[in-house]
Chains A and B, each alone.
Chain A
Amino acid sequence: MAAPAAKQEGFYDCRDAWARTIEELAENDPRIVAVVNDSVGSSKLGGFQKKFPDRLINVGIAEQNMVGVGAGLANGGRIPFVSAASCFLTGRALEQVKADIAYAGFNVKLVGQSSGVAYGELGPTHHSIEDFAWLRPLSNITMVVPADSWETAEAVKWAAAHEGPVYIRLSRMPVPDLSVEDRKFQPGKAELVRKGSDVTIIACGTMVHLAVQAAVELEAEGISARILNMATITPLDEAAISAAASETGAIVTVEEANIHGGLGGAVAEHTSANLPVPIERMGFPGFVPTGSVEWLFDHFGLTAAGIARSARKAIGRKRG
């Protein structure tokens, strides 16, 4: 749909890592199947379809049916990866996600593609910025938001091996690989991307690399910012949040999502009940105007400079 963003060296579309990984896994495990809604191309499943034509179920433009079929396939012993634009997967089929996947507890992997505002100019109907708020209360669905290609591949492998419902939220916006030593994907654990003591920036998905850039900018001013990659939204790593609150005294959350009920909301729920500290929540306040992804990020301050600004503000709100 939206034109691909200009190719930037060292930046990768995580959907490619998803597609490579699911094809590899499917080679070795005949139970793995894909379920789509006329979304073979946007899910990058053309290769999967060629290799395993009988294991790709395209139900047509019918998301409620798609998610229900996923539950049924799990009942029949398959491991379904249900892949669609995340706006329709989570929004259109929300009751199926709640009743058939979460409540019934089927071993289904929901893969939301082109989430956040990745569809840019196509507007709020095609943006998926409400999905965190919709899915967070469905607490037996593990919700993973990979920050780069490596983490995408690891999350897909983990999901295939894990018994239980998972939602993996992918973008289509190219992101660089994070540089973190000895990385190991641990669901439910925040990843410490950078140490710091003055403020903690908790980010997920496409926002993590921008948070790292912000920390570099802040360091030049003598501000030490801790960066946590909160790749799992549910279950939330409450211990890491508590440590951030008590050790750095101020928090910024950054997500490519609506700030109401998302990552920032989750962090605020935890800290306000346990260790109240100033929090700046960054994301989208509601439906956004027409504009490209780049324009929207800029307009809503989802840039390194914008994140640095929020960090200074959070620090300024600390009690003297």
Chain B
Amino acid sequence: MLKNDLVDTIREKALWMRRRAFTMVYDAQLGHPGGDFSAIDIIATLYFGVMRYDPKKPDMPERDRFIMSKGHATGALYTALCAAGYYPEDWLKTYMQPQSKLNGHPNRNYLPGVETNTGPLGHGLPVALGIAIAGQMTNSDYRTFVLTGDGELQEGSNWEAAMSAGNRKLGKFTLIVDRNRLQQGMGTEETNGLDPLDDKFRAFGWDVEVVDGHDVGALVNALSEPPGGRSKPLCIIANTIKGKGVSFMENKASWHHGVPNAEQYDIAMEELV
């Protein structure tokens, strides 16, 4: 596909994901819409512009892997997997209902396409690291992508994995940090600051790229493998806006797990076009 067409396709999918995820949150009156919306452009770019997978063969050994470490953002993950063809749209209507496969945090035993169970922060990067090490051991050429929140990086387990990934020179390993600068209660920098985040990863032996996490073209470029591949793991710091796309949600910590009333739902649907 031509680059411009690809960008348009990804944008279209991302818009559908935002509308669908917001509807799921509205119907369930539960969810994490702020973190869904900061991550959607990144996840849409991965699934509709970068990753190799076959939804009919979710266990295919050579598939690229995506690990959703910020497991609370299920609105983003579940809509992506649905749009990618892993399951029918009907399933989305069961979000958080009794005995639903669409639990508040993803469960690999319930849903095809989910690589591992997440929800407690700081688990995705170590598991993804193991997947990448397995790929290196078996000379496979699949790539492993993991998305973490920025607040999530306050968990020490991430830095244990980061150190190990750097030492092992895992060129097929990519971490994307959803750098929306907010966590649950307030800003990351007023809680336990992360800056300078790029220098931290460089010091741990990673390549680092900083991109606008809502610029799909820039994301495609950053996420695509350069000719000849890489000799270090890559950390993409994606600068994002929590709640991106809905005026009253943008940059508001209260929308971490806020849910819309009927009026807010209507406004959001008017804005998401």
Which residues of A line the B interface, CB within 8 A? 1-3, 38-42, 58-62, 64-65, 87-88, 91-92, 119-123, 125-126, 289-292, 295, 299
Contact A87 B120 (CB under 8 A): yes
A-chain residues with CB within 8 Å of residue B188 when the two chains form the complex? 60
Specify which of B105, B117, B192 is in contact with A58 (CB 8 Å cutoff).
Answer: B192
Contact B259 A3 (CB under 8 A): yes
Chain A nearest Cβ from B116, distance in angstroms: 11
A-chain residues with CB within 8 Å of residue B119 when the two chains form the complex? 122-123, 125-126
Number of interface residues of B (CB under 8 A): 35
0/1 string, B56-88, CB within 8 A of A gives 1: 000000000000000110000000000000000
Count of inter-chain pairs, beta carbons less than 8 A? 92
Chain A nearest Cβ from B101, distance in angstroms: 8
B-chain residues with CB within 8 Å of residue A61 when the two chains form the complex? 121-122, 151-152, 154-155, 183-184
B-chain residues with CB within 8 Å of residue A65 when the two chains form the complex? 156
B-chain residues with CB within 8 Å of residue A58 when the two chains form the complex? 185, 191-192
Contact A126 B155 (CB under 8 A): no
Which residues of B line the A interface, CB within 8 A? 28-30, 71-72, 96-105, 107, 117-122, 151-152, 154-156, 183-185, 188, 191-192, 257, 259
Chain A nearest Cβ from B127, distance in angstroms: 13
User: Which residue in chain A gives the minimum CB-CB distance to B119?
Assistant: A125
Contact A121 B28 (CB under 8 A): yes
User: What would 4 more interface pairs be, CB under 8 Å, given A65-B156, A121-B96?
Assistant: A3-B30, A38-B185, A91-B120, A290-B100
Contact A121 B120 (CB under 8 A): no
A-chain residues with CB within 8 Å of residue B185 when the two chains form the complex? 38-41, 58
13 pairs of residues in contact across A and B, judged by CB atoms under 8 Å: A38-B151, A38-B183, A38-B184, A42-B184, A58-B191, A60-B192, A61-B121, A65-B156, A122-B105, A125-B105, A125-B118, A126-B120, A290-B104
Specify which of A2, A62, A125 is in contact with B30 (CB 8 Å cutoff).
Answer: A2
Contact B99 A290 (CB under 8 A): yes
Which DSSP category, helix, strand, loop or mixed, fits chain B's interface? loop
Which DSSP category, helix, strand, loop or mixed, fits chain A's interface? loop
User: Which residue in chain A gives the minimum CB-CB distance to B188?
Assistant: A60
A-chain residues with CB within 8 Å of residue B122 when the two chains form the complex? 61
Contact B29 A3 (CB under 8 A): yes
A-chain residues with CB within 8 Å of residue B117 when the two chains form the complex? 125
User: Which residue in chain B gives the minimum CB-CB distance to A121?
Assistant: B96
Known: A2-B30, A40-B185, A62-B155. Is A122-B104 also a contact (CB below 8 A)? yes
B-chain residues with CB within 8 Å of residue A38 when the two chains form the complex? 151, 154, 183-185, 191
Contact A125 B71 (CB under 8 A): yes
B-chain residues with CB within 8 Å of residue A42 when the two chains form the complex? 184
Specify which of A2, A41, A64, A121 is in contact with B184 (CB 8 Å cutoff).
Answer: A41
A-chain residues with CB within 8 Å of residue B71 when the two chains form the complex? 125
Contact A292 B120 (CB under 8 A): no
Q: Bound complex: CA of A41 vs CA of B254, how far in Å?
A: 10
User: Which residue in chain A gives the minimum CB-CB distance to B123?
Assistant: A125
